[in-house]
Amino acid sequence: MPVTDEVLPIRDTVEQWKPHIAFNLLEAFADNGAWGYYVVSYLQMLKVPCTGCNPRGMLLSRDKALSKKILHFHRIKVPEFRAFYIGKQIKPKKIKYLPYPMIVKSLTEQGSIAIAQASFVNNEKELRERVAQVHEMTGEHAIAEQYIDGRELYVTVVGNTRLQVLPIRELVFDKVEENQPRIATYQVKWNEQYRKRWGNEYQFARNLPNGTTEHIERLAKRIYRSLDLSSYARIDLRLANDGKIYVLEANPNAGIARDEDVIFSAKKAGMSYEKFIQKILMLGLNAN
């Protein structure tokens, strides 16, 4: 059933159908991607189990600044960052000592929305301009985070209490020149022809340094639990050139179409598409 900006249709459908579980594919509520947790909370109040992440995990992880503060508290490396809220003046002292270059993006949107080559900024002037552009394009708050040069890795974690880390995926930048940023822009994520032209390819991570895979698996579980995630999530990491691993963001309810990284990783781990869907259904039915 489509859900736009009212919860009454949800209640009516629940009363009529009395479902065992709601399969949650919601991407936004009232045109706001960060408000999906309201709908999951409402389903909980109706005592209807739901696939995907619980509302608390969604709230903590969808705010990129809040999630980074939580992870930093748990001594998990995150890029240095600043949040910029609509209607609030950017004070010079707030951005005086930023470690440029920085990446400017939406504070809450997923799917690389409003991320382009122009998101890569080298000074205060470019930062201010891009923050204003993100505010205007998305109607959402913005965040600027330190650009970490290195490999971009995607790690899927599945489970509620007993967690399974699936094989690591990587976004490869083969044709990007040395002095150019390697970032997952909107075009990179959604435009296959663009990826082919610039040598961007999603694949399983290869030739990781000894012990890195095991370290990432342990780290992914720590991140998942620190943000109170459940069911499944994709965690985006950067393996810096010095070997340090930084958390870019955690994505609860990441895409589960057949051509998504989550599903490729599940199949690599021995799960068919049908088996994966059955697994998240059972996780939803058995969630506390």
Question: Residue 110: its pLDDT value, please?
Answer: 85
Residues 139 and 197 in one domain: no
* Element containing residue 55 per DSSP (H, E): helix 55-62
Report yes or no on 2 lying in a domain.
no
CA distances from 204 to 109, 171, 186 (A): 25, 9, 21
What average pLDDT does the chain have?
Answer: 94
Residues 212 and 234 in one domain: yes
Report yes or no on 3 lying in a domain.
no
Question: Residue 180: its pLDDT value, please?
Answer: 81
Domain count, the chain: 3
How far apart are the C-alpha atoms of 13 and 279, rounded to whole Å? 24
Name the residue type at position 145: E
Question: Residue 191: its pLDDT value, please?
Answer: 87
Residues 38 and 167 in one domain: no
CATH of the domain at 117: 3.30.1490
Question: Residue 119: its pLDDT value, please?
Answer: 95
Residues 46 and 31 in one domain: yes
Using a pLDDT cut of 70, give the percent of the chain over it.
100
Report yes or no on 36 lying in a domain.
yes
Say if residue 176's pLDDT is above 80. Answer: no
Residues 178 and 281 in one domain: yes
CATH of the domain at 200: 3.30.470.20
Residues 104 and 193 in one domain: no
User: 203-224 as b/e, with b when 16 or more CB fall inside 10 Å?
Assistant: eebeebeeebeeebbebbbebb
* Element containing residue 261 per DSSP (H, E): helix 261-268
Residues 237, 95, 124, 112, CA torsion sign: positive
Residues 118 and 159 in one domain: no
DSSP state of 51: S
Residues 162 and 234 in one domain: yes
Question: Residue 112: its pLDDT value, please?
Answer: 85
How far apart are the C-alpha atoms of 66 and 218, rounded to whole Å? 22
Question: Residue 198: its pLDDT value, please?
Answer: 81
Q: Please tell me whether residue 106 adopts helix, strand or coil conformation.
A: strand
Q: Which of 146, 171, 191 is the last residue of a domain?
A: 146
Question: Residue 228: its pLDDT value, please?
Answer: 98
Report yes or no on 278 lying in a domain.
yes
- Residue closest to 29 by CA, chosen among 21, 41, 20: 41
Residues 205 and 71 in one domain: yes
Question: Residue 266: its pLDDT value, please?
Answer: 98
Say if residue 278's pLDDT is above 80. Answer: yes
Which tens digit of pLDDT belongs to each residue from 14-40? 999 999 999 999 988 988 888 999 999
Residues 186 and 249 in one domain: yes
Which tens digit of pLDDT belongs to each residue from 198-244? 888 999 999 999 999 999 999 999 999 999 999 999 999 999 999 99
Question: Residue 174: its pLDDT value, please?
Answer: 82
Name the residue type at position 183: I
Report yes or no on 37 lying in a domain.
yes
- Residue closest to 112 by CA, chosen among 33, 198, 184: 184
Report yes or no on 172 lying in a domain.
yes
Residues 212 and 108 in one domain: no
Per-residue pLDDT, averaged over 166-184, amounts to: 88
The residue range of the domain holding 257 is 58-78+150-285
Residues 272 and 204 in one domain: yes
Residue 123: pLDDT band (50, 70, 90) is very high
Report yes or no on 1 lying in a domain.
no
